[in-house]
């Protein structure tokens, strides 16, 4: 169509009211939560950009699918629909449902990762890293150098550094690298895509050393869209064809269906190796449930099967990636530096350069996230030294490489005016940036501390 405006490719069928807590109520909520935005109640938040995980709107077809869910404990019809859709998409012969992505990670790593192993990834997501470390193994991030430079416009900043992958394997020995993972898109690195050429290069290294290659596939459809837009030779392929090619390069995947499954819960583990799959199923029965439901209801399996088909529609992906870029334009126009170019599911504010007066040890990205909530009830999430800082034996901390605030866009949930509002809140905070102060941690857990840590203003 000859029009400039990209419209939401749906009309709204059911709505949920937003509550509007006052500034006093927001201040009180912050104090109660120890300045940790994970401690806020949903009704204390006006626009919730904490995550794009499980927070999207399902379609009427997904809801309709839920009504025909088969709740048979074993051999549910809904499982076979789920399996068939995923097999068609991924080509993997073994499809194991799980209640969400980290459950698939836990089962895979408990099966194939041993103490002292090293798992390379472009950038581990926090739960992925924690699940590797829980096996007493090392989670090693080897994204390309451009991936650490927020200003670089490189089109595939999620790519793995293939030379570093080879060095890692040579250094630790092939037997201590149980698998190589690539996260598409690279969430912790700014939602940046990985090119097909890079996936192919990683595949070639894995072939040379006979190491299994797995995708962390949470946002595979958004990655496929970026490949279509940015990589030579893909503009005429459909997102589904591109996604199928991505999966064909891997031996398996972990997946959180809460992202590109367009569902509120769910995930799966896919692979080609039947023996490893059998060991995973044995563990699945212990913790998740029988292998034809894996911690999900039959109706969840239906919603995911439908979601995986809808997510590959071109109108959807066009709108999806453009609406994230629209939020990026708003934030940029406030003069706030962001991770460039904008990623698929979120805008990442570069708090290190924006709040350069707050040292990393005082968590500048946490300070900014708290302020966006205080100002306008907008909830984002810190992806910086609170999440990835490493406590050192002397009581100090090694800071994370970047100090980001992620504003994640739930799928099919907010309209353009919601995002315009977020833009106004960001501008208001930007105008008094130099008054922002850092935080210190007053209580923390031994791992995944960002979920529950408590803070106090410095
Ligand atoms: N891998 C990636 C790349 C993720 O982004 C997530 C979740 C997971 C694995 C784990 O999946 O939540 O279903 O257990 N990311 C969410 C986020 C939580 O906010 O980015 P899960």
Contact 141, 161 (CB under 8 A): no
Q: Which residue, by CA, sits nearest to atom 19 of ligand 1?
A: 51
**Predicted local distance difference test score (pLDDT) of residue 5:** 87
> For the chain, first and last CA: distance in Å?
54
What separation in Å is there between the alpha carbon of 53 and the centre of ligand 1? 7
Q: Which atom of ligand 1 is nearest to the CA of 183?
A: 3
Task: Indicate the domain borders of the chain.
Answer: 23-52+313-457, 60-310
Cα–Cα nearest to 339, from 124, 154, 197: 154
Pick the CATH number of 23-52+313-457 from 3.40.630.30, 3.90.1150.10, 3.60.20.10, 3.40.630.10: 3.90.1150.10
What separation in Å is there between the alpha carbon of 190 and the centre of ligand 1? 13
Rounded to an integer, what is the distance from CA 128 to the centroid of its chain? 11
What separation in Å is there between the alpha carbon of 49 and the centre of ligand 1? 14
Low-confidence ranges of the chain (pLDDT < 50): none
User: What's the token pair of residue 75?
Assistant: 């051999």
**Predicted local distance difference test score (pLDDT) of residue 395:** 81
| Pocket lining for ligand 1, CB < 6 angstroms | 51, 53, 100-102, 125, 127-128, 183, 187, 216, 218, 256, 258, 267
Q: What is the largest CA-CA distance in the chain?
A: 63
Distance from C-alpha of 361 to C-alpha of 399, rounded to nearest angstrom: 7
Q: Which atom of ligand 1 is nearest to the CA of 50?
A: 19
CB atoms within 10 A of CB 163: 12
**Predicted local distance difference test score (pLDDT) of residue 432:** 93
What separation in Å is there between the alpha carbon of 262 and the centre of ligand 1? 13
* Dihedral sign computed on CA atoms, order 365, 366, 367, 368: positive
Distance from C-alpha of 235 to C-alpha of 228, rounded to nearest angstrom: 5
Q: Using alpha carbons only, give the angle 379, 409, 123 rounded to the nearest 5 degrees.
A: 95
**Predicted local distance difference test score (pLDDT) of residue 190:** 84
CATH 3.40.640.10 correct for 60-310: yes
* Burial state string for 31-62 with b = 16 or more CB within 10 A and e = fewer than 16: eebbbbbebbeeebbbbbbbbbbbbbbbbeeb
Q: Which residue, by CA, sits nearest to atom 8 of ligand 1?
A: 101
What separation in Å is there between the alpha carbon of 406 and the centre of ligand 1? 13
**Predicted local distance difference test score (pLDDT) of residue 448:** 84
Task: Name 381's bridge partners.
Answer: 406
């Amino acid at each position: 169509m000859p029009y400039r405006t990209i419209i939401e490719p749906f009309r709204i069928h059911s709505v949920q009211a937003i509550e509007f807590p006052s500034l006093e109520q927001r201040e009180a909520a912050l104090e109660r939560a120890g300045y940790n935005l994970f401690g806020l109640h949903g009704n204390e938040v006006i626009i919730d950009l904490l995550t794009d995980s499980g927070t999207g709107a399902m379609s009427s077809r997904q809801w309709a699918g839920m009504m025909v869910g088969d709740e048979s404990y074993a051999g549910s019809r809904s499982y076979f629909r789920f399996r068939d859709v995923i097999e068609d998409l991924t080509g993997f012969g073994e499809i194991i449902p799980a209640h969400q992505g980290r459950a698939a990670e836990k089962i895979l790593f408990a099966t194939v990762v041993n103490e002292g192993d090293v798992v390379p990834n472009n950038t581990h997501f926090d739960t992925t890293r924690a699940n590797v470390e829980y096996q007493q193994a090392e989670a090693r991030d080897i994204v390309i150098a451009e991936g650490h430079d927020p200003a670089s416009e490189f089109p595939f900043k999620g790519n793995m550094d293939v030379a570093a992958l080879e060095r890692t394997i040579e250094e630790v020995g092939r037997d201590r690298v149980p698998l190589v993972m690539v996260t598409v898109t690279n969430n912790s690195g700014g939602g940046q895509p990985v090119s097909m050429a890079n996936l192919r290069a990683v595949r070639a290294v894995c072939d040379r050393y006979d190491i299994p290659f797995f995708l962390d596939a949470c946002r595979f459809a958004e990655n496929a869209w970026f490949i279509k837009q940015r990589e030579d030779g893909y503009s005429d392929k459909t997102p589904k064809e591109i996604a199928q090619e991505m999966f064909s390069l891997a031996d398996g995947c972990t997946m959180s269906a809460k992202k590109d499954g367009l569902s509120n819960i769910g995930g799966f583990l896919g692979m080609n190796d039947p023996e490893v799959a059998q060991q995973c199923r044995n563990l699945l029965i212990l913790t998740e449930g029988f292998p034809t439901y894996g911690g999900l209801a039959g109706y969840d399996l239906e919603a995911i099967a439908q979601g995986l088909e809808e997510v590959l529609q071109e109108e959807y992906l066009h709108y999806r990636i453009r609406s994230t870029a629209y939020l990026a334009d708003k934030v940029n126009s406030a003069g706030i530096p962001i991770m460039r170019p904008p990623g698929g599911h979120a805008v990442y504010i570069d708090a290190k350069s924006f709040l350069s007066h707050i040292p990393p040890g005082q968590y500048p990205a946490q300070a900014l996230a708290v302020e966006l909530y205080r100002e306008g009830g907008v909830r984002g999430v810190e992806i910086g030294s609170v999440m990835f800082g490493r406590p050192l034996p002397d009581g100090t901390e090694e800071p994370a490489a970047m100090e980001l605030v992620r504003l994640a866009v739930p799928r099919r949930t907010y309209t353009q005016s919601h995002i315009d509002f977020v833009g106004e809140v960001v501008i208001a905070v930007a105008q008094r940036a130099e008054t922002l102060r850092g935080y210190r941690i007053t209580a923390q857990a031994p791992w995944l501390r960002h979920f529950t840590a408590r803070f106090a203003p410095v």
